[in-house]
Structure 1
Amino acid sequence: MTGRPAPRVVEALNGALHRLFDERPSLHLLGEDVLDPYGGAFKVTRGLSTRHPDRVLGTPISEAGITGVAGGLALAGDQAVVEMMFGDFAALAFDQVLNLISKSVTMYGERVPMPVVVRCPVGGNRGYGPTHSQSVQKHFLGIPNLALYETSPFHDPYAQLAEGLDHGPAMLFEDKVLYTRRVFRDGAVDEHHRYELLGGPTGWAHVTPVDAAPADVVLICPGGTAHRAIEAAGLLRGRGLTTHVLVPARLYPPDLEPVLPLLAGARLVAVAEESTAGGTWGAEIAAQVHGRIWAQLRAPVLPLSSADSVVPTAPHLEAGVLLGAERIADEIETAAARSLPPRAPAAPVAPAGPLADTGPLAAPVPAAPAPDTARPEDAEPVAGVPVGVPKLNNNDTAYLVLQWLADDGAQVAEGDPLVEVETSKAVEEIVAPAAGHLRVRAAEGTEVGVGELLAELFAEPPTDRPESPSASSPGAAPVAAAPVPPSAVGQGPAPRTHVLDRAQQGTAAVVTRAHQEVPAAFAAVEVEVDAVLARLRTLSDETGAEVGLPEAVVKAVAATHPTFPHLFGALLDERTVRLADTVDIGVTVDAGNGLYTPVLRDCAARSLADLSDDLMEFRMKAFRGEFTAGDLSGGALTVSLNVEPGVLVVQPIVMWPQLCMVSVGGPLTRLVLAEGVPAPATVVTLGLAYDHRVVNGREAVAFLRAVSDALHDPEQLVKLID
């Protein structure tokens, strides 16, 4: 990495406010708990009251009063920014917005400046519950003279705030999850996407694939939904639909002129937002697009929003209500298929060699036989292109056929999803290696081994019938249960049994191999963590991210990589260790439905807040069972997180082909001597299981001491953060 990382959105907002206060001596800020050292509920106003004590006003809990005072300041010739602690409470200020600051602009016979911006933190996905998680933008649409903006990772909040003050009144909506995300800059989004700004700094961000492929779908979304929209675009690319994403800096009134040509050229236009269903911003955008270019659209605009429901507190219920990337992709795919005529599939093309590599989950494709025009009519029919079972991970030799995504006999195109199979840890899609008519050869509910036949693809509709239940079409009856062994007959009641689920079977395979193949040893140390826990609490307040001991342990482990590189390696043979180029660390996650070890990427180069975001996403994926093989592979070392209170010590295994696993126990209170006086202290136990062929006890203890030193010293932790 070169240079400093891009700032987080909360830092960009804070910097924008500082710049505006420096430039505008008549600017005031009003809000609850906005004074230092607290600096606002999400730390957006940090430092302002220290530098401008006369112009930053901490107020009582009265949203209507705060907004009314701001309107009065503006009428008197000053400027004002109002901070709502949560956007949900903007409802209490609705009268002042509707009947004072928006009406005063034009109801006195001449235009009256109203330089007021009301800032509103909005949105869910943080478990804050029904009254602190709403996206209330839609309730302020259509108020004359009132402009609505939303922060995004693409737009400079200084430009949004300045324009809102210069042409006010305005409201700026700030998605709370976005606060800890880094802004995009220099046209780069990720390895698959880039962006450009259309219509100036408060115009549209246009996100495209790096190969600049033309859009099949244009997905419009506000800034708070941008990351989900980009993730959905990646999912749709895998399903054969190239998606461009458009993110406006100003929600209302929208300036559609710069993007109309792009919308007119797409097969489908969709609008996605987190607001609950009914009367949405997306419906407003759809109405305006229909009015402008209806004759050029190939289908009506598809509006997507969260469910018509309150936002629950429980994470799994909240996830079921709020709009997510998977649902965006699924509904767009369905709408595109419904609104567009199907493409005529080409006949299967024989690959050049014995195997055609059509992607990581594409089935092996042997070369098709040459056509035999002289074949007798009663000869055997030509075999179709086989869809085999690829190897999806290193743990399983067989997978469960969960669901066929295409009907038996259906026409499919190359790359179309055919079937979902379940490994011990994830659900994966198998795609068509060629175009053709599908003949299913493995029924839902059956187990298939690596290399076995799932289906065949034919140039013409197949006329054969499946020969056995294992080759039946989707929905066929499951294979009958095995008969009771004769030895069990007449011996009284059958014993009670418990069949391990596939996730636990996968865990069993991993630990069995570990115990059989890895000569592991174990060492442990005890670490005092009071100072670190205190620093993490202040860091959480500063960044808005929920940073705790798990993130700190991962970061401290990553910091040891330069000193102990071989502990992050893999044994190639009895004499050679393959070293890791990047510090990718697996972490244990168990949401009650199986143990998973997803991998945090490039931990040495990322902040604690970044790691916190990834860990939260992992917990949600574990709960929903949404991990992919890519999430679970590639770790150089694993950290077993067992930080529940009361856990004394955990002796982990070494997960082949890794060489080490770190464990961290729960916080315990101990009496320790502080300058000769007994005093309570919070301690945790750090453990290290290590492959004794590569690592000796002295190195293991030195490694644990290095991790312990980083956790024991808050200043060292600060260095790791930076």
Structure 2
Amino acid sequence: MSGPAPRVVETLNGALVRLFDERPSLHLLGEDVLDPYGGAFKVTRGLSTRHPDRVLGTPISEAGITGVAGGLALAGDQAIVEVMFGDFAALAFDQVLNLISKSVTMYGDRVPMPVVVRCPVGGNRGYGPTHSQSLQKHFVGIPNLALYETSPFHDPYAQLAEGLDHGPAILFEDKVLYTRRMYRDGTVDEHHRYELLGGPTGWAHVTPVDAAPADVVLICPGGTAHRALEAARLLRDRGLTAHVLVPARLYPPDLEPVLPLLAGARLVAVAEESTAGGTWGAEIAARVHARIWAELRAPVLLLSSADSVVPTAPHLEAEVLLGAGRIAQEIEAAAARTLPARAPAAPAGPVAAAGPLVDPGSHASAPAAAAPDTVAPEGVEPVAGVPVSMPKLNNNDTDYLVLQWLAEDGAEVAEGDPLVEVETSKAVEEIAAPAAGHLRVHAAEGTEIGVGKLLAELFAEPPTTPSAPPAATSPGATAAAVPEPPAAAPPGPDARTHVLDRAQQGTAAVVTRAHQEVPAAFAAVEVEVDAVLARLRTLSDDTGAEVGLPEAVVKAVAAAHPAFPHLFGTLLDERTVRLADTVDIGVTVDAGNGLYIPVLRDCAARSLTDLSDDLMEFRMKAFRGEFTAGELSGGSLSVSLNTEPGVLVVQPIVMWPQLCMVSVGGPLTRLVLTEGTPTPATAVTLGLAYDHRVVNGREAVAFLRVVADALHDPEQLDKLID
């Protein structure tokens, strides 16, 4: 199947169109669902034009809307209700509980109740406490009521059709999914594939492409699926293989297709965005415990958002809502506590020898203390406590720089406490304690430690003598590339100071290296962008994506790759440039809590709307500070976005080992002559910082002209957008 996959909102709209064409008695009721508005999230766009007598705009009364839908069903019709925000489903709860669910069986015979209530739910959009809740748990367990949730894996037509045929039902639609693409053809990304278990309203089973068996099975509804997939990537870098299960129907759940997978896992976890207590995840856990308790190696782990209303401020919202980082962290900690796999029952009779007993509460994965006469295997350091080893944080580096110990040598720490900050080639990451204990540091700040090498140990009792951090010549460490600067004199009593946070310290390390490594030069041109801005507004209206100048610049830069391939390369030595296989472009994102440069992959082959989806996700991750090292590495060229009004020109820093960085200034108003008449025009400045060892000024200006023409010339603009 060619072309990009449709967005979830387009698939929902297509499902409604198909259902209305197939079912002449179907009605849709809701607030502002009529054209041209088409609903708050444009799911019903075009329906009232096609079926003006069956799509009904209603007053603001969720209870009234749902009651009318129940009446239509009792009279022999079918009805879909759109609740503008799922939070307001609380106002319809009485009609759901006491009318449409009970009417099925309280008259002696089973009465059809073909009603589906659609509820946009969830946070991560900055809508605040009364427009961001996930209310699924409040409807679990109501007799005769089925619950579904949209996902990027499942066809909503199947969910809506089944809900109408076996109703009543509620379809929860996580708002963050509306602009995301559906997955199709069994492919998620380069790391994951999926298959459907139990039919079109069953489970999506997401596995690594290498089909590695599951250490962890992570169950989540569709709105949490992208966070679960990101957590799976984080866990893979930490040595745990996670499979993800996403149901089309939340309740009643059909566990039969997935029980064998759950029984074979080291840990089963359920992640959902609702607050804890009486949750859908608790219902799943209770059913799993009842069915396969004997095969489980640990109780099902339940993961929910914080016990709080959902704040409006993005940084506070990110603290409350369950994110990928916390999912991975809690799963990693719980996996360390799992029991060993249960062995088959031993045959009756005398036992020849008994092996060591394992305390279920102990960390079975920690190496035991070596006996005095034993020798550690080659390349493995003997340890007596619980080891803290350097994890693999990305696919580009084999060594990482120890920046700062966050706990002092000899200090007592709890499991999950942050121990040390390490720097990869693109990011600063924290490593947490895998167990509680007293810390003994083995790796000094300023040393580079290889993956798998020992950073520290954790002891149940304080070490008899605290260890001084070893010199850079200790096993597994090499001298840091930058010598330790002399200690600065402490500020006086009246001195005012500003302490850099961790994100800014990471930025400082990267740009310092860039200045040391790259002899940079700079060129700039100005380009009028009124035409491209108008075309992008039309594209946004047509697709529902928020497509702007940043996406167009990235696409124009990618389009210049065939003519200037060496600008997208890496300098191997004084005369050799390694050329990039794909055009992977980093973009600057700063949400006020640090500068990040995540990488948009394969920009030349992807559409503007696809790039827009990724950029929107990057902005949300910047708010939450949830980037992985892999997302921040591997770019062949970067773009610095500085599109606030009035920004004239920006000279960026070339991010070693790249050779170039494009900058985009803010919109400026210029007067141009149009057939002799002064006319206002919008222009931006495009800049290029470049490694002068590889790129000369003439090439730099020629490259900028090609990019500028793609943003200005109508013929090239059509190719760019199409």
- Fold match, TM over 0.5? yes
Which residue of 1 is the match for residue 157 of structure 2? 158
CA positional deviation for 1:560: 2.1
8 Å Cα contact 2:440-2:463 kept in structure 1: no
TM-score (norm 2): 0.80
Q: Mean alpha-carbon deviation: is it higher for 42-51 or for 506-515?
A: 506-515
CA contact (8 A) 1:424 1:502 kept: no
The Cα of 1:449 is off from its aligned counterpart by: 4.6
1:691 and 1:233 mapped to 2: Cα distance?
37
For the residues of structure 2 that align with 1:301 and 1:389, how far apart are their CA atoms?
A: 26
Unaligned 5+ residue runs, structure 1? 350-364, 372-380, 472-480
Name which of structure 1's ranges 618-627 and 17-26 shifts more when overlaid on structure 2: 618-627
**What is the CA distance between 1:202 and its match in structure 2?**
0.9
Residues 12/681 of structure 1: CA separation in 2 closer, same or farther (3 Å cut) = same
User: Separation in 2 of the partners of 1:420 and 1:510?
Assistant: 15
Q: 1:399 aligns with which of 402, 407, 417?
A: 402
How far residue 643 of structure 1 moved from its aligned partner, in angstroms, is: 0.9
* Distance in 1 between residues matched to 2:387 and 2:279, nearest whole Å: 47
1:71-120 alpha-carbon deviations (Å, 9 max, x no partner): 33323322222222222222232233223322332333332222221111
Give the conservation status (yes or no) of the 8 Å contact 2:366–2:387.
no
Instruction: Decide whether aligned partners of structure 1 residues 502 and 76 sit closer, same or farther in structure 2, where only a CA change above 3 A counts.
Output: closer
Corresponding residue SS for 1:104: helix
Which residue matches 1:136?
A: 135
Partner of 1:547: 547
Equivalent residue, structure 2, for 1:333: 332
Residue 210 (1) aligns with residue 209 (2): yes
Distance 1:164 1:418, change over 3 A: same
Q: Is the 8 A contact 1:406 1:418 kept in 2?
A: no
Change (3 A) 1:502 1:121: closer
1:198: which partner in 2?
197
Higher deviation after alignment, 57-66 or 118-127:
57-66
Q: How does 1:348-359 map to 2 (within 5 A)?
A: none
For the 8 Å contact 1:115–1:168, the answer to whether it is kept is: yes
What residue is the counterpart of 1:378 in the other structure? none
Matches within 5 A, 1:122-271: 122-271=121-270
**Contact preservation (8 Å) 1:427, 1:627:** no
Comparing 107-116 and 497-506, the one that deviates more: 497-506
Count, aligned residues: 671
* Partner of residue 20, structure 2: 21
**Is 1:563 the equivalent of 2:563?**
yes
2:364 alignment partner in structure 1: 343
Q: Distance in 2 between matches of 1:385 and 1:236?
A: 18
Deviations 1:378-422 (A, max 9, x none): xxx99x99978999989x995313347999999x9xxxx995424
Question: Which residue in 2 is equivalent to 1:288?
Answer: 287
Q: 1:563: how far off?
A: 3.1
Shift of 1:482: 8.3
Tell me the equivalent position of 2:441: 440
Determine the structure 2 residue equivalent to 1:664.
664
Q: Distance in 2 between matches of 1:83 and 1:719?
A: 39
Native 8 Å contact 1:646 1:666 kept in 2: yes
CA change 1:185–1:32 in 2 (3 A) is same
8 A Cα contact 1:307 1:323, kept in partner: yes
Counterpart mapping for 1:627-666 below 5 A: 627-666=627-666
Matches within 5 A, 1:415-426: 420-422=421-423, 426=427
Structure 1 residues 240-639: aligned runs within 5 Å: 240-340=239-339, 341=360, 342-343=363-364, 367=379, 399-403=402-406, 420-422=421-423, 426-428=427-429, 440-442=441-443, 446-449=445-448, 455=455, 465-468=465-468, 507=507, 511=511, 518=518, 520-573=520-573, 575-623=575-623, 625-639=625-639
Say whether the 8 Å CA contact 2:31–2:58 is kept in structure 1. Answer: yes
Asked if 2 retains the 8 angstrom alpha-carbon contact of 1:640 and 1:661, the reply is yes
1:306 shift after superposition:
1.0
Query: Quick check: 189-198 or 248-257, which moved more?
Result: 189-198
Partner deviation per Cα, 1:263-316 (whole Å, 9 max, x = no partner): 334343322111122221112222333344445444332222111211111111
* Letter of the 1:400 counterpart: L
User: Partners of 1:649 and 1:239 in 2: how far apart?
Assistant: 42
Q: Quote the offset at 1:672 in angstroms.
A: 3.6
Distance 1:406 1:33 in 2: 62
| AA of the residue aligned to 2:402 | Y
User: How far apart in 2 are the matches of 1:669 and 1:127?
Assistant: 32
Distance in 1 between residues matched to 2:104 and 2:387, nearest whole Å: 70
Match of 1:355 in 2: none
1:187 Cα deviation from its structure 2 partner: 2.5
Distance 1:470 1:203, change over 3 A: same
Aligned to 1:352: none
Amino acid paired to 1:658: Q
Checking the alignment, whether the CA contact within 8 Å between 2:34 and 2:55 is kept in structure 1 is: yes
Residue identity in the other structure for 1:85: M
SS state at 1:180 partner:
coil
Q: Is the 8 A contact 1:8 1:183 kept in 2?
A: yes
Instruction: Give the distance between the partners of 1:484 and 1:524, measured in 2 at CA.
Output: 39
Unaligned runs of 5+ in 2: 340-359, 371-376, 472-484
1:710–1:348 CA distance, 2 compared to 1 (3 A): farther
Name the residue aligned to 2:84: 85
Letter in 2 for 1:343: A
Q: Does the 8 A contact of 1:233 with 1:244 survive in 2?
A: yes
The residue number in structure 2 matching 1:684 is: 684
Scaled by the length of structure 1, the TM-score of the pair is 0.80
8 Å CA contact 1:366, 1:385 repeated in 2: no
SS in structure 2 at match of 1:114: coil
Kept after mapping to 1: 8 A contact 2:565/2:579: yes
Contact 2:70 2:100 in 1 (8 A): yes
Structure 1 618/656 Cα, relative in aligned 2: closer, same or farther at 3 Å?
same
Alpha carbons 1:556, 1:707 under 8 Å: kept: yes
- The two structures, once aligned, show a CA RMSD in angstroms of 4.3
**Structure 1 residue 656: deviation in Å?**
3.6
From the superposition, tell whether residues 625 and 615 of structure 1 become closer, same or farther in structure 2 (CA, over 3 Å): same
Work out the CA distance in 2 between the residues paired with 1:543 and 1:10. Answer: 10
Kindly state the Cα deviation for residue 318 of structure 1 after the two structures are TM-superposed. Answer: 0.7
Distance 1:450 1:368 in 2: 14
> Quick one: which amino acid aligns to residue 443 of structure 2?
A
Task: Write the distance in 1 (CA, Å) between the matches of 2:488 and 2:410.
Answer: 35
User: Structure 2 counterpart of 1:322, which letter?
Assistant: L
Q: Per the alignment, do residues 430 and 84 of structure 1 end up closer, same or farther by CA in structure 2, a change over 3 Å counting?
A: closer
Shift, 1:320, TM fit = 0.8
The Cα shift of 1:50 comes to: 3.4
In the other structure, the counterpart of 1:477 is none
Whether the aligned pair in 2 keeps the contact of 1:368 and 1:385 (CA below 8 Å) is no
Residue aligned with 2:60, SS: coil
Shift of 1:483: 8.4
Counterparts of 1:27 and 1:713 in 2: how far apart (Å)?
Answer: 48
